[in-house]
Amino acid sequence: MAIDSRVALIMAKDVKTVGPETPVEEVAKLLWENKISSLPVVEERKVIGMVTDFDLITRETEYDAPMYISLLEAYFHIPGTGDAKQLKKILAISARDLMTSPAITVTPEMTVLEVATLMYDKRLNALPVTDLEGNLIGIVARADIVRLMVADEDLYERTHPDED
């Protein structure tokens, strides 16, 4: 694999984005219609977060509500009950409420190896690519890395036809 290739060579430059006030329903529609799993949330060309299909799925899961006990007219949260992050996503009405922030971003000069490692370590589907000022200039997804792997294999097979 061309792991030393730069992200600039494989990133998509036509990036679908949403604003922080985009309704959750519109976010879901954009993901579905464009067959993508992640959308950068952008404000004035700066990536302020990411919304993923996983964030949307969280809204449809069972929720273990927090439990409290009352003692002498005071209420105490029982540790290990309720998940504040999940509750926030369940109640979300806009991309701002649903997004993971801050977004992890990469630069076009980073290598595919560095980006693949970051995606693996953080379990990410896609990463926004930003310039030195933090402006969104592209996005790199796991599919882009897989496409590079397939292209490398095809090239190898064409240049080494007699090897098995």
- Alpha-carbon distance of 76 to 148, in angstroms, equals 53
Predicted local distance difference test score (pLDDT) of residue 1: 47
* pLDDT category of residue 74 using cuts at 50, 70 and 90: confident
Return the H-helix or E-strand segment holding 37.
none
- Alpha-carbon distance of 45 to 97, in angstroms, equals 19
- Which residue did the predictor score with more confidence, 79 or 63? 79
User: What tokens does 122 get?
Assistant: 């953080």
Q: Model-level pTM? A: 0.75
Q: What tens digit of pLDDT does each residue of 133-161 get?
A: 999 999 999 999 988 888 756 555 555 56
User: What tokens does 19 get?
Assistant: 């604003």
Q: What tens digit of pLDDT does each residue of 23-43 get?
A: 989 999 999 999 999 999 999
Could you tell me the domains of the chain?
7-64+74-159 (3.10.580.10)
Angle formed by the axes of helices 112-122 and 142-159, to 10°?
130
- Alpha-carbon distance of 144 to 110, in angstroms, equals 14
